[in-house]
Structure 1
Amino acid sequence: MNNLDFLLGGPQGGGLETAMNILSKTFVLAGYGFIAEREYFSNIVGRHSYIHARVSARSIPRSLRYPVRLLVASDAETLFTHYMDLSEEAVIIYNTEDSTRSLSDIPSMEDQTRSRIITLLNGENVEPRVDSLVRYLEESKHVKTIQLDFRKILGEASRIRGIKPNVLGRYISSIIVGSVVVLTGLDKNHVRRALERVFTRRPEMVEDNMVVLKLVEAEMHEYSGFLKLDVPDLEPGKHMVLSGNDAIALGKIVAGVRYQSYYPITPAADESLLLERYMNIDFNGVKGSLIVIQMEDEIAAVTSAIGASLTGVRASTSTSGPGFDLMIEGLSYAGMNEVPIVITYYQRGGPSTGQPTRGAQSDLLSAIFAGHGEFTRVVLSSGDHMEAFYDVVEAFNIAEKYQVPVIHLLDKFLANTIATIPLPVLSEVRIERGTVVSESVKSYKRFSLDHVVSPRAFIGRPNIMWYTGDEHDEYGHIVEDPEIRRKMYEKRLAKYNLIKKEVDTRFKYTYHGYEDPDYILIGWGSVKGVCLDAIEELRGKGIKAGYLNVKMLWPFPSEVEKYLKNPERVIAVEHSYEAQIRILVSIATGLRIHRKIIKYTGRPITLNELINAVEKIVSKKTDEVVLTYGA
């Protein structure tokens, strides 16, 4: 078997994230490509959570797809929620104690979801009980069902290892991991190595998990290798597996960030939590401390980052939609005072609190046009984890070289997806800090009109300077003179042309696919992976397609117009209602894109539904397809 698509489901706080962490490392250590996305409710414990994953022996997966071949359910809710996601001859693993559970016995399920599932089951004459559902799946889809007695396995592990009963529930993730390992025939040495990385300096946890794995193996011995994967092509040790949050955090460390502020908000907080683990850095022989501070709110987060930047350190803050709304006044202040800061902006479902743990791409126009008045800002996006790593460094280079705020626009899907990437090449990383004045200058003009980008000095160094929120002269003193106002206004906005001219093309956009395509998909951010896989699949269906990945969203790169000469052949793909990239293209180029494939349920676009949507548009059946698949 070259590829395996699978789901792991259970209650929030039930160990699924740990299981994903262990399995991802195990597969990659064994040489397989791996990708997994985590979906969860916005509560701490109890509500339904699941991991949707794909592992490949032949390539590094870039997207997820349905149906899945394996479902591991640690509770009954998972079975009811995801039974429709199964392929023919799939495998289900579930807890023996859930066999007699009814749909009505699940208090954590939302009433709307319960009603929808009951309607579907009634249509198939299936009683809403686990045992009835399992029989239906065995008969209709020839599904192989495997019961595991979770209580028995955990009890035996407790007897062997002396695990206290009050913490036994933590080892449900071990049963989940063990069942996947047994079915796929993975070498247990790879599992041990993965456990040693997850439970660093906790050898007892490694041994506990290995005991549970052996117990699961004993219970499932007849199914060992039932879904065995082919020998992988990827060379072990040449790849790493990490989340999008991790990729950004590592990129900031390499970029030389010395100050990170944040206020906890999903899905941004994990980035700062990782940075807190590396607050003393020795990078390429350069030692320095990284200060990470949790502020009292997002207003304090952005203003403290501004203050840190004015002292000369590379400074950033991370947030999501509601937090960014609070940062806008600080963003305007940075624009007026030409302060180089980076705001890492992870989008989620809005407006207001919206869907705190679900994904979206609906904040594009907000990021570009937020703030009163006109000032230069740059908005960058990243399409995958590798891009995110390098783009972070470039975000700081742009911020300091042109003395502007940079918004790095990401989303929940990238943040909470674990993916396999090649090891980054650090020799390719370049650091540009712009023109800096280090010596004492008589009558130093911080905002000198002799330059579009004035030489920058740092607070606390010999030169004296003034920063206010008001219009100012070259020294920073408040003025309202119309001539100075005009010159300062034009100076700040002239940076747009410099940025458009000087930023490397690879940070503006990338194009993939046929040079003479029948259709071009245009998008930005995390839709990149599924779009790239889609154009490959469409080739086999006789459709020549390309994908235009827009990376610098503002100032919009005029170079992409050459791909949009025939707008009738362009299809926008985005997680929003309007497909806001169409609006942006129209504003920047005057071209109008009519066709769009959109999804705004908070769940990621999967390969199957994207391919079907493109085929509908190509066959002239519609100009718009709204995607809805996913629990």
Structure 2
Amino acid sequence: MNYVFNRLSIIVGGPQGSGLETSAQILTYSLAYLRYGVASDREYFSNIKGRHSYVHFLISSDKLPTSLTYPVQLVAALDHETVFTHFDSLQEGGVIVYDVSVEEKTLDTTPSMEEDLKDRLRERFRELGIDGSVKALVKYVSEDKKIHLIPLSYSEIINEAAKKLVLPASQAARYVSSIIIGAVSGLTGLGKNAIEYSLARRFYDRPELIQQNKVIIESVYDKVVRDHGSILKLAPSKLNYKEMMVVSGNDIVAMAKIVGGVRFQSYYPITPAADESFTIESYEKLEVDGLEIGSVLVLQTEDEIAAITSAIGAALAGARASTSTSGPGFSLMVEGLGWAGMNETPVVITYYQRGGPSTGLPTRGSQSDLLFALYASHGEFPRIVLASGDHIEAFYDAIEAFNLAERYQTPVIHLLDKFLANSIVTLPIPDLSNIDIDRGLITHKGGADYKRFDLSTKISPRAFIGYESIMWYTGDEHNELGHIDEDPQNREKMYRKRMEKIKIADEEIPQEKRLTYYGPEDADILLVGWGFVKGVALNALETLTEKGIRTAYLHLRMFSPFPSKMMEKMLKRFDESKIIAVEHSYDSQVSKIISMNTGFQITKEIVKYTGRPIYLNELVDAVLKILKGEERVVLTYGP
């Protein structure tokens, strides 16, 4: 008897460069076509090709998923390393798809696997009493965990497709990842029409690729359904969205910048930020109904110093300007950031955090750059720092970042992370009806006596370079005209004028836009976090409530200006022993920021710094440990 699932958790894995990402994309397009909610995370090594990578999906028929969890119901493996790495991720009664030709493979014949993982697996195999082969492993999971095996001969499938398509087998082998698409779609009951739609969308300008992939996918689909049935059949979607997007975090920030009026974007290629600029590049010419309405200049620079300084120059000339980077790149940008602060320049820095320090974990996530973003550069100057917790927040925040930068004439840092950048989700199209464009105080009047840094107003009227006004900019302290001036009274006035912008912003930006409370008013437990923690925290609320533990989540959206009053008010409602900070870092930096701004000490912490996201199952377990008396729980789950 086949069950119908409202939710499925799936892992598809294989070597980098094997087409895995394309397969995951086609599956997601198919699910979006059928209006399923999808959240997925792509985990991959920092080398270009060959090492193990995987995509972890959560698919839902009745809601938009916001986090991932273990165990999973299906592992679909392109190679034997995926079987070794993820067999323990399967829940009892789950399904594994694998290639029969790898059954004799062992850990010793897996050179791409890290030795640390091999050692852990050898110990695990000794515990289970099995040798280190795929054959012994799948036999164990079949007998002891009741895992349903889907053994396929990938080479036979490819050879049959090659004959049908009249292609050399070596050429047909390029489409081996389509076997995964066919197997997953057959097991979950996705219709062939959804796959056809996805292939047409992905390869719209390559009809031969559509046909070649289709032959393999349909042959595997038919074989799996015939031999095993749709044993993981998804229930029909109950989501009533007329249209859905398939977007990564990088994609949606790029879209938002275009909607928000960006006209200059600079970057130096760096993971995980570069994909945002690549997306903007593909829309450099902006057209509506065939009419060209403008363009975006996307500039790949020689380094991050040039990236931020060119963006500053574009902002001085009146363009909405931004640059995009990650930790090592931001380190190089710091001197330019200080120059922008000194000269009250409205530049936006989109900052995707990754594991550090130094090169660190280039393709893994982190939230450990919070303090760095808040205080980078020597001296003091105002900056606005906002952080997004999901794709929708990222969309609206990316637009608001430009508004804030130009309204307060100050750098704005938009904090994101690798988790969100590489997380691909299905979403309804964002509502554009309430989007406002605020360019701040602009003047086209002036001349030789134009005072760019006029002290008679809290925020000076801004003229653009290239218009009639004459202006001076320097990294030194300056007077109202911009000329270097080290007089102590002038210094005090200019310094105070700059620094008081944060006070003005604090008075004008509603605290409710900077801090959001989720959960019942009479909750007993309060989780506090920011950024990508949001999704898993909200899911944890539901799970903990089902266990009889009334839980709420306090989500920080902006760190500068900090919502001190609302934060204090919220924290005072809870017993101090029931307030738990959650963060992807070692130091729980959010706790330190809260203490600095409110004096309140959060003593309970759940942290993770392995570079992998916090999963629902481990967060719930960690909260239960805290409630039993632990002060700090370090999470490590995930391959």
Query: TM-score scaled by structure 1?
Result: 0.98
1:563 matched residue in structure 2:
570
Contact 2:442/2:462 (<8 A) preserved: yes
2:412 matched residue in structure 1:
406
Alignment of 1:371-450 (within 5 A): 371-441=377-447, 443-450=449-456
2:269 matched residue in structure 1:
264
1:85 matched residue in structure 2:
89
The whole-number CA distance in structure 2 between the counterparts of 1:44 and 1:502 is 47
Alignment of 1:365-376 (within 5 A): 365-376=371-382
**Match of residue 553, structure 2, among 523, 547, 552:** 547
* Cα distance, 1:286 vs structure 2: 7.4
2:12 matched residue in structure 1:
8
Cα 1:483–1:440, aligned 2, differ >3 Å: closer, same or farther? closer
**Structure 2 residue 19 is matched with structure 1 residue 19:** no
Report the residue type matching 1:184 in the other structure: T
Contact 2:520/2:552 (<8 A) preserved: yes
* Cα distance, 1:111 vs structure 2: 1.0
1:604 matched residue in structure 2:
613
* Cα distance, 1:235 vs structure 2: 2.2
The whole-number CA distance in structure 2 between the counterparts of 1:329 and 1:212 is 54
Deviations 1:304-358 (A, max 9, x none): 0000110000011111000000000000000000000110100010000001011
**Match of residue 499, structure 1, among 499, 502, 505:** 505
The whole-number CA distance in structure 2 between the counterparts of 1:241 and 1:502 is 35
Deviations 1:571-628 (A, max 9, x none): 00000011100000011111100001110111110001000111111232x0111111
Deviations 1:210-244 (A, max 9, x none): 11111112322222311111111012533222100
Report the residue type matching 1:602 in the other structure: G
2:43 matched residue in structure 1:
39
Deviations 1:124-179 (A, max 9, x none): 10100000001110111011111111111122222222445444343122111111
3-state SS, counterpart of residue 546 of structure 1? strand
| Unaligned residue ranges in structure 1 (runs of 5+) | none
Deviations 1:447-474 (A, max 9, x none): 0001121000000011000111110000
Report the residue type matching 1:470 in the other structure: D
The whole-number CA distance in structure 1 between the counterparts of 2:475 and 2:200 is 52
Report the residue type matching 1:16 in the other structure: L
The whole-number CA distance in structure 1 between the counterparts of 2:584 and 2:269 is 24
Report the residue type matching 2:265 in the other structure: Q
207-216 or 599-608: which moved more? Answer: 207-216
Contact 2:304/2:332 (<8 A) preserved: yes
**Match of residue 353, structure 2, among 347, 370, 383:** 347
3-state SS, counterpart of residue 428 of structure 1? coil
3-state SS, counterpart of residue 9 of structure 1? strand
1:476 matched residue in structure 2:
482
The whole-number CA distance in structure 2 between the counterparts of 1:124 and 1:47 is 26
Report the residue type matching 2:185 in the other structure: V
**Structure 2 residue 472 is matched with structure 1 residue 466:** yes
Contact 1:183/1:224 (<8 A) preserved: yes
* Cα distance, 1:187 vs structure 2: 1.1
Report the residue type matching 2:38 in the other structure: F
The whole-number CA distance in structure 1 between the counterparts of 2:209 and 2:611 is 35
Contact 2:74/2:95 (<8 A) preserved: yes
3-state SS, counterpart of residue 331 of structure 1? helix
Count matched residues: 630
The whole-number CA distance in structure 1 between the counterparts of 2:171 and 2:282 is 26
**Structure 2 residue 32 is matched with structure 1 residue 28:** yes
98-107 or 322-331: which moved more? Answer: 98-107
Contact 1:30/1:236 (<8 A) preserved: no
**Match of residue 57, structure 2, among 41, 44, 53:** 53
Report the residue type matching 1:125 in the other structure: G
* Cα distance, 1:478 vs structure 2: 0.6
* Cα distance, 1:485 vs structure 2: 0.5
The whole-number CA distance in structure 2 between the counterparts of 1:544 and 1:321 is 37
1:581 matched residue in structure 2:
590
The whole-number CA distance in structure 2 between the counterparts of 1:263 and 1:166 is 37
Contact 2:545/2:551 (<8 A) preserved: yes
**Structure 2 residue 134 is matched with structure 1 residue 126:** no
Query: TM-score scaled by structure 2?
Result: 0.97
Cα 1:54–1:457, aligned 2, differ >3 Å: closer, same or farther? same
1:509 matched residue in structure 2:
515
| Unaligned residue ranges in structure 2 (runs of 5+) | none
The whole-number CA distance in structure 1 between the counterparts of 2:166 and 2:362 is 39
242-251 or 420-429: which moved more? Answer: 420-429
3-state SS, counterpart of residue 549 of structure 1? strand
Alignment of 1:59-208 (within 5 A): 59-208=63-212
Alignment RMSD: 1.3
The whole-number CA distance in structure 1 between the counterparts of 2:409 and 2:544 is 44
* Cα distance, 1:505 vs structure 2: 3.8
**Match of residue 527, structure 1, among 519, 533, 554:** 533
* Cα distance, 1:504 vs structure 2: 3.8
Contact 2:186/2:222 (<8 A) preserved: no
Contact 2:541/2:553 (<8 A) preserved: yes
**Match of residue 279, structure 1, among 284, 303, 308:** 284
3-state SS, counterpart of residue 282 of structure 2? helix
2:247 matched residue in structure 1:
242
2:227 matched residue in structure 1:
222
* Cα distance, 1:303 vs structure 2: 0.4
Cα 1:163–1:365, aligned 2, differ >3 Å: closer, same or farther? farther
Contact 1:184/1:224 (<8 A) preserved: no
* Cα distance, 1:517 vs structure 2: 1.4
Contact 2:187/2:231 (<8 A) preserved: yes
Contact 1:28/1:236 (<8 A) preserved: no
Contact 2:107/2:133 (<8 A) preserved: yes
The whole-number CA distance in structure 2 between the counterparts of 1:166 and 1:309 is 52
* Cα distance, 1:16 vs structure 2: 1.3
Cα 1:121–1:562, aligned 2, differ >3 Å: closer, same or farther? same
The whole-number CA distance in structure 2 between the counterparts of 1:187 and 1:101 is 34
198-207 or 4-13: which moved more? Answer: 198-207
Contact 2:178/2:216 (<8 A) preserved: yes
1:364 matched residue in structure 2:
370
Contact 2:502/2:560 (<8 A) preserved: no
Contact 1:33/1:420 (<8 A) preserved: yes
The whole-number CA distance in structure 1 between the counterparts of 2:510 and 2:626 is 34
* Cα distance, 1:392 vs structure 2: 0.4
* Cα distance, 1:188 vs structure 2: 1.0
501-510 or 241-250: which moved more? Answer: 501-510
* Cα distance, 1:283 vs structure 2: 5.4
Contact 1:243/1:419 (<8 A) preserved: yes
**Match of residue 632, structure 2, among 607, 624, 630:** 624
Contact 1:182/1:223 (<8 A) preserved: no
Contact 2:285/2:292 (<8 A) preserved: no
Contact 2:523/2:550 (<8 A) preserved: yes
The whole-number CA distance in structure 2 between the counterparts of 1:431 and 1:169 is 50
Report the residue type matching 2:93 in the other structure: E
Contact 1:254/1:283 (<8 A) preserved: no
The whole-number CA distance in structure 1 between the counterparts of 2:28 and 2:638 is 22
* Cα distance, 1:516 vs structure 2: 2.1
